[in-house]
Amino acid sequence: MPVDIGKVNFALKGQTALITGAGGILAEYFTAGLARAGANIALIDINDQVINERAKMLSTKYDVSTYAHTCDITKKDSVSSMVQAVSDNLGDITILHNNAAAKPKDLTKYFAPYEEYSLDVWKDMMAVNIDGMFLVSQAVGKHMISHGKGGSIIQTASIYGVNAPDQRIYEGSDYMGGPINTPAVYSASKAAVVGLTKYLATYWAEKNIRVNCLTPGGVESGQNETFKQKYSARIPLGRMAEAQEMVGALIYLASSASSYVTGQNIMIDGGLNAW
């Protein structure tokens, strides 16, 4: 008798996926992956230039409907109007990739020592990294409940929301030409994302809304060779990740292939968390 695997389906055709932080580096790959799987894409970011260009490219290349919308996710009214606009243009939202995260223009203040860290910078980072996640998940979750179809929410965390960074890898390392570290505010905010995800997974389970974390390890994105070598030495697979290696887990969590998966933190870290 043949085995029935009819529900193992990675296709997203007919779904509407909303992704925040859609102008970011990883989001270029995330949005392409969702579109390639057939989803219509709402690209949300505070800056409009990149998301408008990406929306046009995705629509042309993958023959899906797209919609770009600027939004300040730290403002409740901005989030509410954004969710309404997305549903008006693309229909019921069934996938949320809560992906936005902040990094200030002044990297000196962002990478400052903990003992001297500015409370203003801390609050600015928390406003996007966790307050924004709260506001977006709240608004989209409410929308999913109202349309009754359920949905999948995927929230981007970080390996440093689970593990503390090894401070030794930062000696002689730089990013975009300046000294680099992982600030405590980043770790604290990403740990909060994991906690929020687990809470929502149980809170909304009866509404058929699944909530999971996608947790990237270190991805090559402008670090110098010293950093790459020191980081890679900590990884069982012996290298940093490439951006496209994050996409498969996103499609899995967004699709019905993961229909019995909720409250999980999927780590794409080359094995770092295994030792």
Q: How far apart are alpha carbons 238 and 241 in whole angstroms? A: 10
Q: How far apart are alpha carbons 129 and 133 in whole angstroms? A: 6
- Catalytic, out of 62, 160, 170, 186: 186
Burial of 112 from C-beta contacts in 10 A (0-12 / 13-18 / 19+): middle
Does residue 162 sit in helix, strand or coil? coil
Strand order across the 95-98 sheet: 66-70, 40-45, 16-20, 95-98, 151-156, 209-216, 265-268
Closest CA to 16 of 84, 73, 66, 70: 66
* Secondary structure of 64-96 as H, E, C letters: CCEEEEECCCCCHHHHHHHHHHHHHHHCCCCEE
Cα 79–chain centre separation: 17
First and final C-alpha spacing in the chain = 43
Active site residue 186: yes
Q: What is the DSSP string of 87-126?
A: HHHH-S--EEEE------S-HHHHT--GGG--HHHHHHHH
- Phi/psi for 217 (5° steps) reads -85, -160
Pairing state between β 95-98 and 151-156: parallel
User: Which residues carry out catalysis?
Assistant: 186
